[in-house]
Amino acid sequence: MSWGQLLQIELRACVEDRLDDDHWVQRKMLLVVEAAGMKVTVLPEPTRESGPDPKVQAICLLKKGHCAVHTFPEKRACFITLLTVGEFSAPNAIAEVAAGTFGAGKTDYTLLPVGEWWDGTEGRMPPIEPFVLVDLLSLASVTVSEDVVEEWTQDEMEKAAEWASAVHADAGDSDGVVVPPKPAFLPEADHYIPTTPYPKHESDPHA
């Protein structure tokens, strides 16, 4: 039994030439969130790497989940992770909206259960990609790099994911969630999440 789902969408051969535009990417991310029927509660500023091949990262905290987008303009690729405390009613439709939004020529998606490892009876959790764990930890106010995560053992990754997922679910007012002790190998929280909620405006279609 799981308490949530993780939808991972891989978009390739994107025809859009604005994958290096951080605020454009953020706006498109919100369209994907809207297609999933989810509500934004915290919207941090997107980030854009400097250099010849600038990559963009956009992330938002949802009422019962989170969404993160990573773009690779030089490869015309975009990767989206969407977590819900519950179930997605139509993950294929969400993936189709994402493909149309970012102009992708090729789309793949995977849907993984979240939380199955908690009761200790259903085996180990599915392997989690380092960049997904980095996103999950960032929403629990802990910042680590993918290089650091890649050096962790599977057991350490499971413990980090379990703790961060529980913190996130607890913050989303999910019932019956018990937050385990924070793993000692994780760095201190750095207050990455803004305390100011996502602002609502009359002209905001996502309000």
> How many domains does one find in the chain?
1
Where in the sequence is the domain holding 86, given as residue range(s)?
4-123
**Higher-confidence position of 77 and 189:** 77
Position 170 scores a pLDDT of 63
Most confident of 95-104, 122-131, 138-147: 95-104
Residue 130 and residue 159 in contact, taking contact as beta carbons nearer than 8 Å: no
50 belongs to a structural domain = yes
Position 191 scores a pLDDT of 45
184 belongs to a structural domain = no
CATH code, domain with 32:
3.60.90.10
Q: pLDDT tens for residues 31-70?
A: 999 999 999 988 888 888 877 778 898 988 888 888 999 9
Residue 47 and residue 69 in contact, taking contact as beta carbons nearer than 8 Å: no
User: The whole model's pTM is what?
Assistant: 0.63
User: Could you tell me what percentage of the chain is helix, strand and coil, using 3-state DSSP and rounding each to the nearest 5?
Assistant: 30, 20, 50
76 belongs to a structural domain = yes
102 belongs to a structural domain = yes
